[in-house]
Amino acid sequence: MSDTVLLPKRLRAAEVVVALKDIGRRVESGPVTIDFRDVEEFDSSTLALLNYVRDRLTNVTTVNIGGALARAAESFVSRPPAVEPELPRSGNAAGRALTAIADRFIFQMRSLGRFLAMLGDEVYHVGVYLKERKGVYPGETWNQMFFMGYRSFPIVCLLIFLVGITISITSAEQLRLFGADIYLADLVGIAMLKELVPLMTGVILAGKVGAAITAELASMTVLEEVDALRTMGVVPEKFLMVPRLLAITLVVPLLVAMADVVGIFGGIVVARATFGTPPSAFIAEMVTAVDWTDFGWGLIKTVVFGWTVVVGSGFKGLTVGRSAEEVGRATTESVVLSITLIILIDCIFAFILY
């Protein structure tokens, strides 16, 4: 004999969930009849319940669906309109996978081409600007220098100091085993000037400055400010990028010099605490291992990283789509792109320098 579930007067989402649980339990024992006679208050979840019961539960009968509920049920469209199914691409699964990979590869190569074209354009724009001094808003380079320095100086100094301490502590233990305590100065000097300061500064610039540039330029693109510049006869790739490239070129030497000092200071602190090495002895030993060429290469590397960050983040900002959500995506992608390129370029520098 059929089990009957009498639904309540008010049958909205909360009651539907309870009823569905009850129906599910009873249907396991045999046929169930759902009686809608008392239902007066209903919503779309009630209509979805009706559809669900009819489509999915074979052992269930619905009765006494009348009046407004019946009319609503007739007009309730719970399925998306039928669409023409997309015809499968020709070829087998492996062929389609290869095609998808090829499409992706072509897309990435095109992006790389556009990025390199933009890099070339920016070098040209900077050169033309330095010659003609027009096409850029007056004072914007100073604004950008302040912005980049203000954003980067404290965090670069703090992190490089901590890196200096960490690498010194790690190395000190090994050097002690060989009685080579004083060579900690050589190690810290070379590591800081040639590798760690440029790399860490580049990565921090990618996170702090690059992300901010992408977010700003992407917002300007979405808000049609970039289009507005173009129709004013302004070249956005020059107007927006040249001040940032000049600013990073001028700020990086200051950042690198400060970071070198702070990183080496971290080494001095550890040498003093671990081996009792006086700072003067540390510095005297360090200058036998490093010279101005090392500082110069570190500076050149960091300037290259800085340009990579600005061009990479500018590229992502100016090629963003038209929706607000793409601003966030572009910002994340710009940081990943910048850090990837920095490490790649650092690797190339390693082959050149060592």
Partner 1 sequence: MDIISAHDLVVGYGRTEILRGLDFAVPEGRITAVVGVSGSGKSTLLKTLAGLLPPLSGGFDFAGRPVNYRSEASLRLLFEQIGVLYQGGALLNSLSLFENVALPIRMQHPKMPEDMVRDMVFASLAQVELAGSADKYPAHLSGGMTKRGALARALVLDPDVVFCDEPSSGLDPITSALLDDLLIRLKETFGMTLVVVTHEIRSIERVADRVLLINDGGLRFSGDYADLAAADDAFIRTFFLRKDSHDDA
Residue from 230, 275, 289, 333 that binds partner 1 (CB under 8 A)?
230
- Position among 83, 94, 232, 352 found at the interface with partner 1 (CB under 8 A): 232
Q: How far apart are CA 55 and CA 62, in angstroms?
A: 12
- Smallest gap, in angstroms, from Cβ of residue 228 to partner 1? 4
- In order, the DSSP letters of 22-41 are HHHHHHTTS-EEEE-TT--E
Question: Which H helix or E strand runs over 41?
Answer: strand 41-42
Helix axes 241-275, 93-132, angle to 10 degrees: 100
103 binds partner 1 (CB under 8 A): no
Q: What would the x/- binding string for partner 1 be over residues 270 to 309, using CB under 8 A?
A: ----------------------------------------
With binding defined as CB under 8 A, does residue 233 bind partner 1? yes
135: contact with partner 1 by CB under 8 A: yes
Site string (136-175) toward partner 1, x via CB under 8 A: -xx-------------------------------------
SS3 70: helix
C-beta of 220 vs 310, nearer to partner 1: 220
Per the structure block, which two tokens stand in for 340?
């990837």
Burial of 345 (C-beta count, 10 Å sphere; 0-12/13-18/19+): middle
Q: What contacts 9, CB < 8 A, 6 or more positions away?
A: 38, 39, 40, 41
Does residue 231 interact with partner 1 by CB under 8 A? yes
| Binders of partner 1 in range 237-256 (CB under 8 A) | 239
Token pair recorded at residue 15 = 């009651």
With CA atoms as reference, report the closest residue to 264 among 201, 202, 186: 186
Query: In the complex with partner 1, which residue's Cβ is closer, 138 or 276?
Result: 138
Q: What are phi and psi of 33, to 5 degrees?
A: -110, 130
Which of the ranges 133-141, 148-156, 288-296, 345-353 carries the binding residues for partner 1, by CB under 8 A? 133-141
CA–CA dist 167, 186 (Å, integer): 12
Alpha-carbon gap, residue 347 to 107, rounded angstroms: 25
**Minimum distance from residue 110 beta carbon to partner 1 (Å):** 12
Residues 209-228 that bind partner 1 (CB under 8 A): 220, 223-225, 227-228
Comparison of 76 and 137: residue with beta carbon closer to partner 1: 137
DSSP 8-state code for residue 3 = E
The distance of closest approach from Cβ of residue 217 to partner 1 in the complex, given in angstroms and rounded to an integer, is 12
Total residues at interface with partner 1 (CB under 8 A): 18
- Does 134 bind partner 1 (CB under 8 A)? Our answer is yes
Cα 83–chain centre separation: 36
Residues that bind partner 1 (CB under 8 A): 133-135, 137-138, 220, 223-225, 227-234, 239
